[in-house]
Amino acid sequence: MQDPTQQGHVETFIENGLATIQFFHPMSNSLPGKLLAKLAESITEAGNNDEVKVILLKSEGERAFCAGASFDELTSIEDFETGKKFFSGFANVINAMRKCPKLIIGRVQGKAVGGGVGLASSVDYCFATKHAAVKLSELAVGIGPFVVGPAVERKLGLSGMSELAINATEWRDAQWAESRGLYNHTFDTVEEMDEAIEKLVAKLRKSNPDAMESLKKVFWRGTDDWDNLLIERAELSGRMVLSDFTKNAIAAFKSK
């Protein structure tokens, strides 16, 4: 049986100015370090491609958008450097999205957990279905949403992020996420969502690329320190994941 940390893929499709970056993992689209590195690389490459006007970030499947960190990889971490490297993967993806000069649209078709909420928080405009409930489960496994926290707080505000972070076992439905600014629009079906995405992409294709790039800088104003901040958060998580409390919490959570 193939090692789960080596499974999954990230693919990029470019057509008529739209770069679609699509990721997949058989375990509810969870993200091991290998996929995180590929995601960051793909976002950076699309952002630097003159043929690309706008980027769409999506995952495969219907039920889960992203289950967050790979528990198989979490349980294999045995030293600080390995832990720091793993959590830096999420930091690198968020920073790649932040620094990308192109607008990024998110397509959230199903539930988002932990790092998945971080991804949804880091796109510039986010579509979702009514099935796209959210949860920050990190505290329930002995860590905390330290790396994704700044991105989530930027979209939900401190109150919304705190609610998710503290009540870590409770789902919040898509309507809750939309009312707090994480999702810009929610739809009953995937088909309705995809139709709305196509309409927005058609408008953005005709928009001034320089104006969109400048808007992106406006949107992310005040985040210039995130290169250092998110790595500091990754170091914090890397130390915390080594504690007996966290190891036992992750093992118990994984066995459910």
pLDDT in tens, 122-132: 999 999 999 99
pLDDT in tens, 163-173: 999 999 999 99
Contact 23, 8 (CB under 8 A): yes
Tell me how far apart the alpha carbons of residues 189 and 192 are, in angstroms, rounded to a whole number.
5
Please answer whether residues 146 and 236 qualify as being in contact, where contact means their C-beta atoms are separated by less than 8 angstroms. Answer: yes
16 to 13, 89, 146, 156, 243: CA distances (angstroms): 10, 30, 37, 33, 49
Q: What is the pTM of this model?
A: 0.95
Q: How far apart are CA 212 and CA 206, in angstroms?
A: 11
DSSP-derived secondary structure for 36-52 = HHHHHHHHHHHHH-TT-
The stretches in the chain having pLDDT less than 70 are 1-2, 256
Distances (CA, A) of 159 to 82, 154, 203: 32, 11, 34
